[in-house]
Structures are given as C-alpha cells and as structure tokens.
Structure 1
Amino acid sequence: MRCLFFPLPALGLALLSGLAHAAMGFSEISAAAGDGPVTVFYPSSSEAQPVRRGPFTLDVAAQGTPVRGNGRLIVVSHGSGGAPWVHADLARTLVDAGFIVAMPEHKADNYKDNGNPGPDSWTMRPAEVSRAIDAVARDARLAPLLQFDKVGVYGMSAGGHTALSLAGGRWSPAAFLRHCEANLEGDFQTCVGLITRLTGSWFDRIRKWGALFVIRHRFADSTPREHQDPRIVAIVAGVPGSADFDMASLATPRVPLGLITAQQDRWLVPRYHSDRVLAACLPRCELIADLPTGGHGALLSPLPPGLTGLIGDMLNDPPGFDRAVLPEVDRKTTAFFSTHLLP
C-alpha cells in the first residue's frame, strides 16, 4: 500500500535507539478526586512478564522500578470508549526513546463506562489531561525523573479532538449541532456514535429525525470551549474529530501540531474532519503520516480482536490496509515529539 511520511530527523533516529534495552514498566496512579486512574508506561530496570489486560497480553514490568529516560512526559488521550491497551505499541516506541507515557481514563467515555460520549466528554477531556500531568507530578517514583515544562500530548479520534483543543482550537456544542444539521447523512456516525446506522431503508427518515431531535435538545450551547496548559508544548492528533471547531482558531496552532490521517475513515469522514484541519493549518502544522487505505481503527495498535456489528465496521481494517506500516508511524510520531520536546 502507499503510505506517505515526512522525513525522520536525525535526532529522532538517535533517540529511538537510546533505551531500547530497557523493559517497559507499567502501573496505575490515582488522579484527582472524581477522575479515573492514570495508566503509566515508563522505562524500567525490572524484568518484563506477560500481563493480561482484557483481550490483550502485554509484555511489561508491572509495578517495575522506573529508570531515568529523557526526562519528558507524553500524555495520551484515548478515543470514545477507549482503553490504554490499544495504544500500547505506540507507548512502547515512546518508552524505548526515553519518554514516560501517561494515559488518563476519560470520565464516562472509556471501556469501563461509555455512558456519555460526545460533546459533554469533549468539554471535560482537556482538563482531565492537565490533571493527569498533575497526578504524575505528584507521584513519588516518577516525578523525580521528569521535567514538566515541556509535555507532549497525543490523541486519537475523540482524543484527537482533545489534542486540537489543547493546540488552541475553539469549538462549541452549538457548532456540533450546526454540523449535524448540515451534514447528518454524510457524517452520520460522528453525529450519533454507535447507537444506530443508516441502512438505506424508509426507516432512515425516523433515524435522522430522532438524531436531530436529541442533538438539538442537548447541544444548543454556543459558548466556545477552549483550554490552555502552558506545560503542553507539542501535540499530535490522530484521525481527530474536528467538524465542530472554528477552523480560524487552528490556522495558527499555539504549539507545534502534527496530524495523522486515514483516508478510508468512515466514523470521522476526512472531508469533514482531518482534511479541514489540514486545509486550515498547513504549512503551520505537519502531516506526520497519511494512510490512504487506513480506516478509523488504523491507529489502534494492538487492534481489539473479534469486533463485530457496527463497531467492527467502523474499526476493523478495510481491505488492502497493511498493519506493517504502523511501527513506522509510531517512529515518526516519536521523532516529532523528540524534535519538539528535547533540548
């Protein structure tokens, strides 16, 4: 398959090999009251062992002894209904380069509780990222190994929406409503999630009416949402949700911004989302990788097995997509952070 990448800086190449001998440590730490746990991956001197988490087996040093890496933290914001484990391959590449990786559990929009995805969650997520940084900064084992003046953020899907917010993007629930009123059929899964789908039958009229009824009832607030954290100085957004952003606010990102796109994404259709962001911010942002045959779940690595029904249709790989390209995407992402976070 064709896969487009930007050149890997020499600095990134050197750093990627720096800690490849260390195991990947794994632990959970507590965040602020009311927040879920923060899962942390880090370089460790302890021995890695297979650890089972859901359908995944991770080769990690659970509660292993942390060792000093490059002194920088990356926070990963998961997608709707997401879990830390689906970003474990990216975490390993980042840890091998010396980064510590923290993954907050976004409230009511995670694999244990997906009761309130969408604009309500998108409003809360950026502050949850900031509180995850605070949590790591309080941790007695990890905080001494880090400097917190230069933190990176990676987000995928709804996490990509979080990333764009932290990059200076402004959005509002009312903008989400306007988008769905104008593009409901073309971007149906963005507007309704995984509740239902269009089938081409006469019942689609009822589905669309019901979707707009709920959205109009819940998302009329036009107050702009924005969140800044001066510690965050480099951001990567993977297949981000972005149709509700004021693109003028992303024309000049407040920090270096990289994007990863997948042209066969049917959950966040590119022409409404990532293509709009790129049109607004290039050349002031970077296209880290474009996956012409990748779907919405292309950046989930490992991909959850056995997905069926609508969620399977949205996340399973389209025909022709080769997952062998993903380690290179992870290396490019790591090099982006190395370039912008390391001295």
Structure 2
Amino acid sequence: MSIRSLLLAPAALALGLASPALAANAGFTVVQMPDPQGPPVTVGIWYPTDAPAAPMILGLGSQTVAKGAPLAGDHLPLVVMSHGNGGVFSSHADTAQALAEVGFVVAALTHSGDNYRDQSRATDAANRPRQLSLLIDYMLTAAPMKAAIDPDRVGAFGFSAGGFTVLVAAGARPDLKTVGPHCQAHPDYFDCKLMKDHPPPADALQASWIHDARIKAVVSAAPALGYSLDVSQVTLPLQLWRAENDQILPDPFYATAVRTRLPKAPDYHLVAKAGHFDFLAPCNDENKTSAAFICSSAAGFDRAAFHRDFDAKVVGFFTANLAAQRP
C-alpha cells in the first residue's frame, strides 16, 4: 500500500468504500479518445491496481504509479477531470493518483485548442463541456476499463476554466453578454486579456451548452467566468474552492460569485495564503525554476502540504457522494 493510501484509507473506510480498493496502488495509462469534431484527444487514466508502483516524472512534477498495470476491482466510480486554460491532462496528477488509490477510475483530458501547446481555441468555452461529456461517453463505452466502471456513479473535477467546465456540465448556464461589461471594468484581469488576445468564436453568444445528467457530484476549484453563470439549476453535491490571494481570478467575481448564487450551500473551502496556481499539482525543483509563474507560491505557503489536505478532502467528498452509494 502506498503512503498516500495509508493517509487516506481511514477517511475512506469511515465513509463506506469497499475495503479491497484500499489495498490498491494507482495504475496509469494514456489513451487517444476519438473526437468527431477534431483530432483525437489525449486522456490520462488512473485506476486501482494490485501491481507494485514506482515513481515517474509527469508534467510539472512526479507521481507514483504502476504504468500499464492490470485494473483491480469492479463497479468502480468514475471521476472525469478538466484542466485550466493552457493546462494538460496531468495538471492534477496527484489528486488523480489519490482517488485511484482508494478505488476510483479517473480520466483527465487535454482540451483541444486550450492547452499548453495550443491556444487556438482558448476562449471557445462551449467546446470544453462538450469534450467533458464526450469523455464520459468514451470511458463508459470504449475505454479499456469500461466494464469495470459503474455508470451510475460519475463525478467531475475542474480547476479554473475547468472549474467553469464542470459547473456548466452540472447544469450552470453561462451568459456571455456579461463578459463585455466585466472586461470594460477590469481590462487587466487575466481572462479579459486572454479574450482580447484570443477573441471568442463569432457565434459564441449562440453556443449550445452541454449539460450531462450522468454527473452526480462536482468539485470546482477557482472557477473561471463565475460572474457569468446562472447556477440556479446546480443542485447536485458541490465542493467549491477559492484561493485567498488569487491574482488570476480575483475575488469576488469568480468562486464567490458562484457561491452566493447557488440554490443550496456547497462544501466550501477558502485556502488561506494560496494563489491561483496552488491548486495545480506540486512542481519538482526543475520546474520551480523553469515554470516559476505557475510553480511559485507565496512565502510561507507550502503547496505540497496543502495538497495533502486538498487531496484528502476531494477524496472524502467524492467518496461520500459517489463511492458510498455502491450497492
């Protein structure tokens, strides 16, 4: 059993997750998901396994996984992940690993045109929930581990633009007419600069927003475009996170705007002294220098320590709202 499993096992046991999954490490594989509207989408998949795990470099940091190992378990809950603007499927690898170690299948995609290599669709907001729903389709009908997934227990995790994505998938309705006035008032905000550099599609105001009723619980961290969202129909269990010192999506226009409009109170967490990018997986020493913009934290803030707590709370939330429902 991994160290992370030892840390998280007591919480999972208390919430009723089947004990065999607690002995598992995290397996890991990368696949290409077909997309009828574009090129194949890269997807990282984490899942429980009984095979021994080993450290490997991934993205900004590292993970401890059994690459390509056999899956252990059946009727497993699924969590799909949506990264932020300019991110990649590995942006939240530590959280994915933590979930897999206690019995979840986790699938994280690299959004087409909004990733660290390609910003050509960076403000095509409607493409994101479409691809997230496509990912659920793929995991339930075509993925290598499809037979082991329980289609009635699907959750979604998202950060920043991904936080917006999962809220829309859960029933939120964006009003993009609010973006213009917001950006006139706050032209120096990150999202407004992004839309100036990458104008939204000409038909953005007529976009069709995909809501996916298969999603039963959502974790949204620092959601982008929060001020634009009508969340009156978001009634499923929701864990909402805000960084106290978020300079990318400053308060009160994003997470707070969502929180104050929800029809029922979410499981809300304000992270003292945290910045926007502290929700990303902890970086290794090399990337703390080469990618300092997203890897640096404020003096006195320990990103690795925060993620031990963050991952445990995300695991606990999804366990309570998905895994504990196993017949």
TM over 0.5: yes
Q: Distance in 1 between matches of 2:178 and 2:79?
A: 30
Q: Which residue of 2 is the match for residue 199 of structure 1? A: none
Q: Which amino acid aligns with 2:257?
A: R
Q: Distance in 2 between matches of 1:101 and 1:316?
A: 27
Which residue among 213, 217, 235 is the counterpart of 1:230?
213
Q: Distance in 1 between matches of 2:58 and 2:104?
A: 22
The reply to whether residue 22 of structure 1 matches residue 24 of structure 2 is: yes
The reply to whether residue 261 of structure 1 matches residue 262 of structure 2 is: no
Q: Which residue of 2 is the match for residue 335 of structure 1? A: 316
Q: Distance in 2 between matches of 1:13 and 1:149?
A: 18
Preserved contact between residue 70 and residue 97 of structure 1 (Cα < 8 Å)? no
Higher deviation after alignment, 147-156 or 27-36 = 27-36
Q: Show structure 2 runs of 5+ residues with no match.
A: 1-9
Q: Which residue of 2 is the match for residue 293 of structure 1? A: 273
Preserved contact between residue 181 and residue 212 of structure 1 (Cα < 8 Å)? no
Task: Specify whether residues 295 and 55 from structure 1 end up closer, same or farther in structure 2 by C-alpha distance, changes over 3 A only.
Answer: closer
Preserved contact between residue 170 and residue 213 of structure 2 (Cα < 8 Å)? no
Q: Which residue of 2 is the match for residue 111 of structure 1? A: 116
Deviation at 1:14, TM superposition (A): 5.1
User: More relative contact order in 1 or in 2 (CA 8 Å, sep 6+)?
Assistant: 1
Higher deviation after alignment, 124-133 or 82-91 = 82-91
The residue correspondences of 1:1-343 to structure 2 (distance < 5 A) are 15=17, 19-33=21-35, 34-68=39-73, 71-118=76-123, 120=124, 122-139=125-142, 141-185=144-188, 188-193=189-194, 215=199, 221-223=204-206, 225-246=208-229, 249-281=230-262, 283-287=264-268, 289-303=269-283, 305-306=286-287, 312-313=292-293, 316-323=296-303, 324-342=305-323, 343=325
Greater strand proportion: 2
Higher deviation after alignment, 161-170 or 151-160 = 161-170
Q: Distance in 1 between matches of 2:250 and 2:307?
A: 21
Preserved contact between residue 32 and residue 41 of structure 2 (Cα < 8 Å)? yes
Q: Which amino acid aligns with 1:125?
A: R
Deviation at 1:340, TM superposition (A): 1.5
Preserved contact between residue 122 and residue 198 of structure 2 (Cα < 8 Å)? no
Deviation at 1:257, TM superposition (A): 1.5
Q: Show structure 1 runs of 5+ residues with no match.
A: 1-7, 194-210
Percent identity of equivalent pairs: 29
Deviation at 1:307, TM superposition (A): 5.3
TM-score, with normalisation over the residues of structure 2?
Answer: 0.84
Task: Specify whether residues 212 and 301 from structure 1 end up closer, same or farther in structure 2 by C-alpha distance, changes over 3 A only.
Answer: closer
SS at 2:17's partner residue?
Answer: helix
**CA RMSD between the two structures:** 2.8
Q: Distance in 2 between matches of 1:212 and 1:37?
A: 28
Q: Return the index of the structure with the highest Cα Rg.
A: 1
Q: Distance in 1 between matches of 2:135 and 2:14?
A: 26
Q: Distance in 2 between matches of 1:29 and 1:45?
A: 21
TM-score, with normalisation over the residues of structure 1?
Answer: 0.80
- Residues matched between the structures, number: 310
Task: Specify whether residues 252 and 123 from structure 1 end up closer, same or farther in structure 2 by C-alpha distance, changes over 3 A only.
Answer: closer
Q: Which amino acid aligns with 1:136?
A: M
Preserved contact between residue 41 and residue 102 of structure 1 (Cα < 8 Å)? yes
Preserved contact between residue 169 and residue 245 of structure 1 (Cα < 8 Å)? no
Q: Distance in 2 between matches of 1:339 and 1:268?
A: 29
Deviation at 1:326, TM superposition (A): 1.9
Q: Distance in 2 between matches of 1:172 and 1:276?
A: 13
SS at 1:19's partner residue?
Answer: helix
Deviation at 1:69, TM superposition (A): 5.5
